[in-house]
Amino acid sequence: MKLHTIIGCIILMAITCIVACKKFEIRFPDKDAGQSTDVPNIKNDTARYLWNGPDYYLSVKADLSDVNGLQSIQLINKEWNFDSTIMLGDRKEFLLRAMFNVPKDANKTIHKLDVIVKNVKGGVLNTTIAIADSSDNNQDPTYDPDNTVPTIIPRTPTSPAPYNEAPFTTALKAYYGLDGNNISFNIAVNVTDDRALAKVTLKVWGETYLNEAPPVLVEDVRTPGDDERKDYLLQKDNISLPPYSGEYAILITATDTSGNENTFYYPITVGVMNRLYLSDAKNALEITNQAFDGYAAASAWGMGTIIPMKKIATNKFQLLYYYANAGDDNIRFYAYQASDKPFNNRTILYNLSGSQTASSGAVANVLGVSSSDNKKVTVNPAETNYKLTGLQKGYYTLTVDMSTRTIIADPYTPANSDWSNASKFPGFSPSAPYDYLAIIAGGAIVNSRGWAEDAASPPYARLTREPDSYIYSGSFTTAANGQFNMRAPMASLGGADVGWIRLPTSNRNLYTDVYGDLMSGIMPVGPGSGYVWAPAGNYGVWLNAGANKDYIASYDLVTYRLRMVRLN
Amino acid sequence: MKLSNVIISIALVASTAAGCKKDFLDREITTQYNEDEVFVNYDRMSKTGLGVYSSMLNRFGFNRISNAMLASACDEADHANPLSSVHLFNVGVWNASTNPEDCWSGFYEGIRRANLFLENSADYKNILFRDTILPANKTQYQTQVRDIEWMRAEARLLRAFYHFELMKRYGGVAIMDKVIDDEEILKNIKRQSSDSCVSFIANECDAVAPLLKDTWVGFDGDKWRGRLTQGTALALKSRVLLYGASPLNNPSNDLDKWQKAATAANDLIALSRYSLFNDYSGLFKLGNGADGNAEVIFAIQGWNRNDYEIANYPIGYDKGGQNSTSPTQNLVDAYEMKSTGRPITDKVSKYDPTNPYNDRDPRLAASVLLNNTTFKGRKVECWVGGLDGLGKTRATTTGYYIRKYENENLNLVNNESSVHAWILFRYAEVLLNYAEAMNEANGPEVRKGNVMTAKAAVDLVRQRAGMPVLPAGVSQDALRERIRNERRVELAFEEHRFFDVRRWKIAEQTENAPIMAMRIIKNGDGSFNYTVVKAEDRVFYANKMYLYPIPEAEVLKGAITQNPNW
């Protein structure tokens, strides 16, 4: 490049800088030496960010000129990902008046537009234009946006059928699906819009967990007629779901002519259980007469013949259980979905055949281990004798999968870290367990006498160890209303206030079971901690059926399960 | 001695030794002992096994790239110190000789450590038997055999992990599953395809998972916490298969790859061993207790330090703000609205640009220190002219400071410090891996016999954070975008985003977009005006930067080919 050319460029740049509104501009040639390095001129350049109708625009104005001929103008804004080039066809002047659609800014943003103008000789003008933000007000004074979404209203039940069901809500609808029959239901909703509906779509879809049946997919797109544009009734009858564990959804989508959209979503489960209980009530009496702690909070339970199993995954439940393998075993699993459960404020809501549930009314939610396959559980009474088929006496970790309707029983070697605690189990060792547990009831139980075991005049009330186990069982009769405690044999106490087995906290502040329900089960607590009614102390469970009531009870030193039933 | 201390000691011993003579693929690891003196008893053998962990040091985590975090090399953050080499990434001037995060030799060194240990300890039962020959030592023998078997499984998994770390940066790499000392053989070793690397790593995970401990928590006085577990093997398999299925490594979109990735994540989720912690913010402040948390699958144990707080406390705090990692407006805008669960760009999101931090995803305030937030007893002043505001040297360049990982209770004047662990695998990531793979393979709301749908997995992560679930009926394309955004906010600053945008092949958009900042003006009445301005342009060349360049010195040695256009 020749010197005079460079000087010329510098002078031209200086002049252009002055003329072009004090903008920062860089001009440089991109052609070989010897070619013209004159750069295009730009003046009256402005840029605005506009809101017009529903969209946002970049408006650019500039007067371009070049004595050699204009080749192109490129406009760049990186934050909008905007890059546009206009070919100018060698003309010597060009009045740029352009509008470009750009995104709406989420935030108030300062933008600049990078501009590159080239002439046919290779001269390049680089400059920036500040973009004025005029987007606060819409440029179209008549713009009247429709920002109202359609409404979707589950239809109120009407008579006659089929629209006599409870209206849909957004709450989960759960079906037990245990009876083997398909679940069938109808849908009816009203859809309205203040201007005009464009379409209403219904989609029902889902699948069983284990693919026992084909996936469900119902799709229905409706276009409301002219007289239905503001109020449309969507009806769909006899939608059917297979009776296996699975999840489904109903989705109704309403779209108006402005593109506003609203949806109504309704989840459904079939055979998805929130709770599973094991019951070993030998007969109906052992259900209706199972014991409750009389002083416990109203909904407390946990001393009877039903045990909650811990939910370890979707539809999968687990329990450490001692199986007696006796002739009168009657092991039943009660499954519950949603918020259903077997008790309501000490009211027993189940019997040997099933439960009265809040969500579905009476339901045969009872399963037993299959008589022919001890890895299966079944709801069919003809296929089960309600025993843990094939298992010997002992402890097992039972895992029930309600999706596969299977059960796994893993043998468990009994152990308990509390046994080495001399306060809780004085004089106890796994190889030399207590022969019995004393019942301490202050005279409320026949032969319980005072507040310590009376060894002087047997027989005194006690639970006796079953052979080769850590289960202590027996029977007793009440002398009056009063509390029930147990304690290590007197000979093991060494005169200390230890070895108590009772409510681990105040009976007004019980602990919760695996489902969060209050539980009145009793545990080794070591010292008696005084006979405090306030929440700070531990206490015996309170039996308030009166005198001359016969009970059977057993207590498990591995699981701390107290099983108590009143017989009369 | 705790594991972290053992590893640091081993690393120090190694660092005092003579330099390497061998090629990068088989670096000589010198210790105070010769190799034939190491594998003679339990003590030396086990320390060598633990030494395989040492290649993790400074490869992940805090302030590791010229005092910057990897977040500052992508659209998550800008590093306030202009002298940091991390800026080379952002201006596009890095190359095979100036890669600010060149990990090639470091990870191959770790691989050689693993191979040396595995080959020399192969006869471990006889070695241990010789050393415990007395009948009275039978129990000790059995314990030591068990320990070495665990370590051998860990060494194999570490070897697989190091291969993965190489693969995700450099593409297909040479698979080194044995010690090679012959120079001629080494010169002729070639790179494998990314598919081959994925298969090797996934197979190794399968092979060692049953041999690993399920947890080190509560074992042997807790002194071995921080070692790999079964869960780590499953999580690594999930991650590597996801990378293998992603557009960068799966240009034909082979759905079978996505399905395998989904199955791998499903396998871990189905264990029901892990769960989401209910305190998102607290999750990153657990110190070396992190691996006792049900969400944490594997965390690198740390030590007492305060350099992270010195770097990232706002500059107006005593001794703070020395190397600020400044979260970008780009990232801040990615956090959705809490009440509506919608992106701020959605017209019904209820976003108010005049009050931009109100009603946002709670993870925003947990990860990013926002203007006017109370922090260590006073309001953070990110406004222009404020104590912590733009304009001061090394102050935030974006109007934000990082908050994730920070111990907010340190008195830096008194040089107080605390333990910082770096979580490498956590359950939320696996859920998002699962969601992404399931969505691609099967769609948003299909289970196909797995534990949950893709949408349900994302919803779990969102609900833990206090966010609404995604809308039902979401399309596959829409869910893909939501999952990508969910990873961006959930895993912010955890060294995922940098690689995610590459494996998704969207870096040419995200890494070429300018970094935006929030300019905050405080008004006389105490209110603030918020205006977004451009902080800097960034450069990403799509023709080459999806993969790192192989170090020039290594390419010149033999058959290792350079990545395209480097």
Residue A307, CB-side half-sphere exposure with 13 Å CA sphere? 21
> And the tokens for A314?
């979707």
Residues A258-304 have pLDDT tens digits of 999 999 888 889 999 999 999 999 999 999 999 877 766 666 788 89
Overall average pLDDT of the A7-16 stretch: 42
Chain A interface includes B536 (CB < 8 A): no
In which residue are the tokens 């992190």 written?
Answer: B290
Average pLDDT along chain A:
86
Q: CB–CB of B24/B107 below 8 Å?
A: no
Residue B64 and residue B70 in contact, taking contact as beta carbons nearer than 8 Å: yes
Residue indicated by tokens 């070919």: A87
For residue A98, the SS3 value is strand
The answer to whether the beta carbons of residues A29 and A119 sit under 8 Å apart is: no
- Would you place residue B428 in the very low, low, confident or very high pLDDT band (cuts 50, 70, 90)? very high
Does the beta carbon of A10 lie under 8 angstroms from any beta carbon of chain B?
no
Bond from prior residue into A160 cis (ω within 30 degrees of 0): yes
% of residues, chain A, pLDDT over 70: 86
Please say if the pLDDT value at position A22 is more than 80.
Answer: no
Strand runs (DSSP E) across A466-537, as ranges?
Answer: 471-477, 482-487, 500-502, 511-512, 518-519, 523-526
Q: Does pLDDT of B9 surpass 80?
A: no
Residue A534 pLDDT greater than 60, yes or no: no
Burial category of B365 from C-beta neighbours within 10 Å (exposed 0-12, middle 13-18, buried 19 and up)? middle
- With beta carbons less than 8 A apart as the criterion, state whether A20 and A127 touch: yes
Q: What local confidence, expressed as pLDDT, does residue A267 receive?
A: 86
The answer to which of A104-113, B319-328, B375-384, B418-427 has the lowest mean pLDDT is: B319-328
Task: With a cut of 60, say whether residue A345 has pLDDT above it.
Answer: yes
**Quick one: pLDDT at residue A7?**
43
Write down the pLDDT at residue A333: 98
Distance CA B108, CA B175 (A): 10
CA-wise closest residue to B473 among A256, A267, A173? A267
Report the alpha-carbon distance of residue B439 to residue B550 in Å, rounded: 34
pLDDT of residue A140: 92
- For chain B, give percent helix, strand, coil, nearest 5: 45, 10, 50
Amino acid (1-letter code) at residue A110: I
Q: Express each pLDDT in A291-316 by its tens digit.
A: 877 766 666 788 899 999 999 988 99
- The DSSP code for B200 is H
CB B539 within 8 A of CB B90: yes
Contact residues on chain A for B511, CB-CB shorter than 8 A:
none
Amino acid identity, position B256? D
- Indicate if the pLDDT at residue A190 is higher than 80: yes
Is A505 touching B (CB cutoff 8 A)? no
Report the relative pairing of strands A173-175 and A261-270 from DSSP bridges.
Answer: parallel
Residue B476 has pLDDT above 50, yes or no: yes
User: Is B537 part of the contact surface with chain A (CB cutoff 8 Å)?
Assistant: yes
Q: Residue B37 CB: number of other CB atoms within 10 A?
A: 11
Kindly report, residue by residue over A199-246, the tens digit of the pLDDT. Answer: 999 999 999 998 899 999 999 999 999 999 999 999 888 889 999 999
pLDDT at residue B40, rounded to an integer: 77
B451 touches chain A (CB under 8 A): yes
Chain B residue at shortest CA distance from A265: B472
Residues 6 or more apart in contact with residue A491 via CB below 8 angstroms: A427, A455
Q: Is the pLDDT of residue A504 over 60?
A: yes
- How far are the Cα atoms of A387, B192, B198, B226, B432 from residue B202, in angstroms, in the given order? 44, 15, 6, 22, 19
Inter-chain contact B351–A251, Cβ cutoff 8 Å?
A: no
Predicted confidence (pLDDT) per residue in B494-522, tens digit:
999 999 999 999 999 999 999 999 999 99
CB contacts of A206 in chain B (<8 Å) are 445
Distance CA B10, CA B107 (A): 16
Looking at the complex, does the CB of residue A217 fall below 8 Å from at least one CB of chain B? no
Nearest residue on chain A to B517, alpha-carbon basis: A109
Contact B368, B489 (CB under 8 A): no
Instruction: Judge contact between B271 and B231, C-beta under 8 A.
Output: yes
- C-alpha triplet A134, A135, A137: angle, nearest 5°: 95
Q: Taking a C-beta distance cutoff of 8 angstroms, is the pair A453, A435 a contact? A: no
* pLDDT tens-digit map of A31-55: 444 445 589 999 999 999 999 998 9
Q: CB distance from A311 to chain B under 8 Å? A: no
- The residues that bridge with A73 in the sheet, in sequence order, are A86, A117
User: How much is the pLDDT for A513?
Assistant: 85
B185 lies within 8 A of chain A by CB = no
| Amino acid identity at B204 | E
CB atoms inside a 10 Å sphere around CB A200: 23
Model pLDDT for residues B207-235, shown as the tens digit of each residue: 999 999 999 999 998 989 999 999 999 99
Dump strand ranges (E) for B207-330. 296-300, 304-305, 325-327
Nearest CA to B408 out of B362, B372, B377 is that of B377
> Residue by residue, what is the 3-state secondary structure of B425-471?
EEHHHHHHHHHHHHHHHHCCCCCCCCCCCHHHHHHHHHHHCCCCCCC
pLDDT confidence bin for B30, thresholds 50/70/90:
low
pLDDT at A418: 94
The confidence score (pLDDT) of residue A170 equals: 55
Q: Nearest 5°: CA angle at B557, between B553 and B559? A: 120
Which has the closest alpha carbon to A26: A157, A132, A120, A115? A115
The residue of chain A nearest to residue B516, with distances taken between CA atoms, is A79
B344 touches chain A (CB under 8 A): yes
| Strand order, beta sheet including A261-270 | A173-175, A261-270, A246-256, A197-208, A216-222
Residues 457-476 of B with CB under 8 A from A: 471-473
Pick A109's closest partner by Cβ from B351, B446, B531: B531
Chain A residue nearest residue B530, CA to CA? A108
Pairing of the two strands A523-526 and A500-502: antiparallel
CA distances from A433 to A219, A322, A500, A554, B197 (A): 66, 17, 16, 16, 59
pTM score, two decimals?
0.83
Asked whether the predicted pLDDT for residue B265 surpasses 90, the reply is yes
Q: Which of A408, A124, A155 is nearest to A266 (CA)?
A: A155
Weakest-pLDDT range from A133-137, A295-299, A491-495 = A295-299
Closest-CA distance, B239 to chain A, in angstroms, reads 23
Report chain A residues whose CB lies below 8 A from the CB of B537.
78
Question: Which among A81, A105, A209 is the nearest to B449, CB-wise?
Answer: A209
Q: Is A110's CB within 8 Å of B333's CB? A: no
pLDDT, greater one: B443 or A301 = B443
- What's the rounded mean pLDDT across residues B94-100? 93
pLDDT for the residue numbered B234: 98
C-beta of residue B405 within 8 angstroms of C-beta of residue B495: no
Question: How much is the pLDDT for B8?
Answer: 47
pLDDT at A14: 42
Contact A109 B333 (CB under 8 A): no
Position A185 scores a pLDDT of: 83
A106 at the B interface (CB within 8 A)?
yes
Helix (H) or strand (E) holding B483: helix B476-490
Mean pLDDT of A111-137: 96
- B449 band by pLDDT with thresholds 50, 70 and 90: confident
Which burial class, exposed, middle or buried, applies to A502 when counting CB atoms under 10 A from its CB (0-12, 13-18, 19+)?
A: buried
Residue B1 pLDDT class (50, 70, 90 cuts): very low
pLDDT band at A12 (very low <50, low <70, confident <90, very high): very low
Which DSSP letter does residue A370 get? Answer: B
- The pLDDT value given to residue A299: 67
**Residue B434: which of B266, B298, B294, B277 has the closest Cα?**
B266
Is A78 close to B513, i.e. CB distance below 8 A?
yes
Interval A478-501 mean pLDDT: 91
Q: What pLDDT shows up at residue B157? A: 98
A247 CB within 8 Å of a chain B CB: yes
> Is residue A169's pLDDT more than 50?
yes
Rounded to 10°, the helix B427-442/B454-464 angle is: 150
Cα torsion through B259, B260, B262, B266, rounded to 10 = 130
A-chain CB neighbours of B451 within 8 Å are: 313-314
Question: Rounded mean pLDDT of A335-354?
Answer: 91
Q: Which of A76, A79, A247, A317 to mutate to test the interface with B (most CBs of B within 10 A)?
A: A79
Give the nearest partner residue to A79 out of B348, B471, B534, using CB atoms. B534
- Residue A160, pLDDT above cutoff 60: no
For A210, the closest of B449, B473, B533 (CB atoms) is B449
Q: Is B531 on the interface with A (CB under 8 A)?
A: yes
Residue B60: count of CB within 10 angstroms of its CB: 15
Give percent of chain A with pLDDT exceeding 90: 65
A107 touches chain B (CB under 8 A): yes
- How many CB atoms within 10 Å of residue A22? 8
Answer yes or no: do A107 and B353 touch at CB < 8 A.
yes
Structure tokens at B307: 């350099």
B348: chain A residues, CB-CB within 8 Å = 147, 149
Share of chain B above pLDDT 90, in %: 80
- Interface residue B356 vs chain A (CB under 8 A): yes
The answer to whether the beta carbons of residues B456 and B345 sit under 8 Å apart is: no
Give the model's pLDDT for residue A6. Answer: 42
Residue B424: what pLDDT?
97
With contact defined as beta carbons under 8 Å apart, do A131 and A108 qualify? no
Inter-chain CB proximity B471 and A215 less than 8 Å: no
B318 CB-contact burial (10 Å; exposed 0-12 / middle 13-18 / buried 19+) = exposed
pLDDT of res. A516: 84
Q: pLDDT at position A545, please?
A: 85
Highest mean pLDDT among A3-12, A153-162, B264-273: B264-273
ipTM of the complex: 0.85
The values of phi and psi at residue B562, to 5°, are: -80, 150
Average pLDDT over residues A97-113: 96
Contact A106 B347 (CB under 8 A): no
A132 vs A24: CA distance, rounded Å? 17
State pLDDT tens for residues B103-141.
999 999 999 999 999 999 998 888 887 766 677 788 888
Mean pLDDT, rounded, of chain B: 91
Say if residue A532's pLDDT is above 50. no
Please give the Cα distance from B352 to B373 (Å, whole number): 18
pLDDT of residue A428: 96
The span from the CA of A75 to the CA of A88, in Å, is: 13
Cross-chain Cβ contact B356/A207 below 8 Å: no
A308: closest CA of chain B, how far (Å) = 19
